[in-house]
Amino acid sequence: VLSGEKFEFQTEVSRLMNIVINSLYKTPEIFLRELISNGSDALDKVRFQALTDPSALDANPNLNVTIAVNKEKRTITITDSGIGMTKQDLQKNLGTIAKSGTSEFLETMAGDKADMDLIGKFGVGFYSVFLVADKVRVTSKNNNDDQYIWESTAVNDFTIAKDPAGNTLGRGTQIAIHLKEDQVQYLEDTRLQELITKYSEFINFPIYIRRTKTKLVDVETTAEKAEPKDDSDDSEEAKVEEAKEEDESKKEKVSVTYEEDDLMNTNKPIWIRDPKSVTAKEYDEFYPVLARDPTAKAMAYSHFKAEGDVEFKAIMYIPNEAPKDLFQRVDSKYANVKLYVKRVFITDDSTDFLPRWLGFLKVIVDAEDAPLNVSRETVQSSKSIKAINKHLVKKLFDLLKTLSKDEQKYNDFFSEFGPSLKLGALEDRSNVKKISRLLRYRSSHNDDFTSLENYVSRMKKGQRDIFYFAGATVKEIKQSPFVESLLARGYEVLYMNDPIDEILLSQLTNFENKNFQNVAKSNLNLGDEDTNADTEKELETKYAPLVDWMQATLLKDIEKVRVSNRLTTSPAALVANDHGMTANMERLMEGQAR
């Protein structure tokens, strides 16, 4: 136990510690994130100072964070060569809450479970160390003071004393954590490495793990010769081996242990740079890092900076392929936005940053200040999240607009992600119009996809509606007598062969004030100028007996028989009534019920 001056924690600190412990006991691992980012902040500060006073770095010119463990002593030490803390800093920074708003924040938090969960997601600071520690010793050296030690077991008070060892750090801070008995997992090298990758891989300064290694070295020796070998083995090869051994008999290999610092964070945060300075190759190389899949490729990306309500930088990627489980995930977990605050990973399990139809995107968001921090009100956080959401959706539309200028590229995109856009048109009422412009359909025009815009531009003179027919496959649709008759009259028909299409159109109802007309419905209105009402009347009278007979005969199966001008080569067709389900829809519903 350190003997020195005793100080009591400010009441708010004790309260914050309780909240931290109670809300984060399930994810104690975040202590490492917090301590590394404090180290990084401290390094930022000294580097900034050195801009005007280069001598600030003299005591220790290397800027980095180094983590070492001692299994016997059950300790982890995290050392940074940052700005360090004077005695007064230690007392103030690690004993009070200086941040404005924190006290009020704590008031509003008191006892609210949901809010407690939320703070866990965002920055919680130094005191999170007590999630894993039963004792913490902070040794710190600032250029303006001698080296001091702060020590606490988190119970009410802490001690500060001048370090009897002297100014050993040169400059910076060393945090020695004595782990609780049930937190020894953090002594494992693989665990630490995993956490650094998860939370701190984009920290601007090198983060090292200090490892003890062994190697074999040759040592000159005068030791006696080894026992003579069994000479029954006198083959040529064996003789050669023996000769070699003799040759080296004065040397011996011994293993020695030594320490080496291994760099953990080699990935660079390209999103913080000016987009103009980032090459296509760098974007391509960053994608698999973000996706955590070395083979992953992206088809498009957008790199931007948001200002205003909330400030952040982001890169949004559209993957090359839709994930296989995209729509299973849609219902539960589709979180695909990694939120960072100043290069430090905060969360990737929030579904609030994007609507679920955009679950296929991969996005990194890095907020500049921390409006999502513990020190602000919860309401403020959710406001920021909404602002981020809105901005990302807008950028996605911009990206798709750009993409759609290259028809082939856009069609490739649509082949993969069309179902997501359709889901969006169904679910995201505020963006239906925009999404409908991005939809593509097969049509009778040619074998390619067409946009609704292009369909409309090709509409026949006098054609009022957009004609479509829904079926299981394009082949089946092409064979339909309804379609056949429209094509014979020179109309273009959209082929809807995706199960979601018909449901979607019943909601879209129109595009650029053109209604969607299902050609399988009985009230089909061609808007043909050459339809002759007189001939129609004549035909109706002429075929009245046939109609009556059919109606009587098929009474059980159909609702009505009527003479129609819509068929060309087929003599008759079954149609759905205006408000009824089409055959395709019925098949879908049956499929669902099964």
Residues contributing to the site for ligand ADP (CB under 6 A): 34, 38-39, 41-42, 80, 82-85, 93-94, 123, 125-126, 173
Q: Among 402, 582, 447, 435, which residue's Cα sits nearest to residue 511?
A: 435
Taking the least distance from each CB to Mg ion, the nearer of 381 and 517 is: 381
Rounded Cα distance, 203 and 208, in Å = 12
DSSP state of 227: P
Q: With CB cut-offs between 5 and 8 Å by kind, which of Mg ion, ligand ADP, none does residue 493 bind? A: none
Q: Is 85 annotated as a binding residue?
A: yes
Q: Is 34 annotated as a binding residue?
A: yes
Q: Are strands 312-319 and 298-306 parallel, antiparallel or unpaired?
A: antiparallel
Placement of tokens 């050993």 in the chain: 168
Task: Please measure the distance between the N-terminal and C-terminal CA atoms of the chain and give it in whole angstroms.
Answer: 70
CB 504 within 8 A of CB 429: no
CB 174 within 8 A of CB 239: no
Taking the least distance from each CB to Mg ion, the nearer of 38 and 183 is: 38
CB of 35 to Mg ion, least distance (A): 8
C-alpha pair distances (Å), 586 with each of 106, 405, 558: 57, 37, 15
Q: Is 93 annotated as a binding residue?
A: yes
Taking the least distance from each CB to ligand ADP, the nearer of 125 and 419 is: 125
Taking the least distance from each CB to ligand ADP, the nearer of 125 and 499 is: 125
Following CA atoms 500, 506, 511, 517 in sequence, which dihedral angle do they give, to the nearest 10 degrees? 100
DSSP state of 27: -
How many Å is the maximal CA-CA distance in the chain? Answer: 124
Question: Which residue's Cβ lies closest to Mg ion?
Answer: 38
CB 520 within 8 A of CB 566: no
CB of 262 to Mg ion, least distance (A): 25
Q: With CB cut-offs between 5 and 8 Å by kind, which of ligand ADP, Mg ion, none does residue 39 bind? A: ligand ADP
Q: List Cβ neighbours of 478 (8 Å cut-off, separation of 6 or more).
A: 444, 495
- If binding is defined by CB under 5 A, does position 66 make contact with Mg ion? no
Six-digit token pair at 169?
């750090």
Beta bridge partners of 344: 341
Q: Classify residue 508 by burial, with Cβ atoms within 10 Å: 0-12, 13-18, 19+.
A: buried
Taking the least distance from each CB to ligand ADP, the nearer of 126 and 397 is: 126
Site pattern 271..290 for Mg ion (x: CB under 5 A) = --------------------
CB of 20 to Mg ion, least distance (A): 12
CB of 17 to Mg ion, least distance (A): 14
Classified as helix, coil or strand, 158 is strand
CB of 173 to ligand ADP, least distance (A): 4
Q: Name the one range near Mg ion by CB under 5 A: 33-41, 319-327, 435-443, 444-452.
A: 33-41
Six-digit token pair at 299?
């088809």
CB of 429 to ligand ADP, least distance (A): 40
CB of 140 to ligand ADP, least distance (A): 7
Site pattern 116..145 for Mg ion (x: CB under 5 A) = ---------x--------------------
Q: Is 255 annotated as a binding residue?
A: no
Taking the least distance from each CB to ligand ADP, the nearer of 41 and 377 is: 41
DSSP codes, 280-301: HHHHHHHHHHHHT-TT--EEEE
Taking the least distance from each CB to ligand ADP, the nearer of 44 and 352 is: 44
Six-digit token pair at 186?
């953090």
Question: Which residue's Cβ lies closest to ligand ADP?
Answer: 125
CB of 362 to ligand ADP, least distance (A): 28
CB 8 within 8 A of CB 162: no
Taking the least distance from each CB to ligand ADP, the nearer of 78 and 477 is: 78
Taking the least distance from each CB to ligand ADP, the nearer of 41 and 261 is: 41
Taking the least distance from each CB to Mg ion, the nearer of 33 and 303 is: 33
CB 301 within 8 A of CB 315: yes
Beta bridge partners of 80: 65, 173
Placement of tokens 């729509």 in the chain: 327
- If binding is defined by CB under 5 A, does position 38 make contact with Mg ion? yes
Rounded Cα distance, 418 and 425, in Å = 11
Rounded Cα distance, 459 and 406, in Å = 23
DSSP codes, 229-258: P-TT--SHHHHHHHHHHHHTTTEEEEEEEE
CB of 89 to ligand ADP, least distance (A): 7
Q: Is 101 annotated as a binding residue?
A: yes
CB of 161 to ligand ADP, least distance (A): 18
Q: What are phi and psi of 442, to 5 degrees?
A: -75, 150
Q: With CB cut-offs between 5 and 8 Å by kind, which of ligand ADP, Mg ion, none does residue 480 bind? A: none
Binding-site residue total for Mg ion (CB under 5 A)?
Answer: 2
Rounded Cα distance, 454 and 411, in Å = 14
Q: In what order do the strands lie in the sheet with 157-162?
A: 5-8, 157-162, 148-152, 133-141, 172-179, 75-80, 65-70, 207-220, 251-263
CB of 338 to Mg ion, least distance (A): 19
- If binding is defined by CB under 5 A, does position 102 make contact with Mg ion? no
Q: Name the one range near Mg ion by CB under 5 A: 36-44, 385-393, 523-531, 563-571.
A: 36-44
CB of 197 to ligand ADP, least distance (A): 21
Q: Is 420 annotated as a binding residue?
A: no
Q: Is 109 annotated as a binding residue?
A: no
Taking the least distance from each CB to ligand ADP, the nearer of 144 and 525 is: 144
Q: Name the one range near Mg ion by CB under 5 A: 34-42, 297-305, 378-386, 540-548.
A: 34-42
Q: With CB cut-offs between 5 and 8 Å by kind, which of ligand ADP, Mg ion, none does residue 355 bind? A: none
Q: Is 459 annotated as a binding residue?
A: no
Taking the least distance from each CB to ligand ADP, the nearer of 140 and 183 is: 140
Q: Which residues are annotated as a binding site for ATP?
A: 34, 38, 80, 85, 93, 99-101, 173, 376
From the annotation, which residues make up the binding site? 34, 38, 80, 85, 93, 99-101, 173, 376
Binding stretches for Mg ion (CB under 5 A):
38, 125
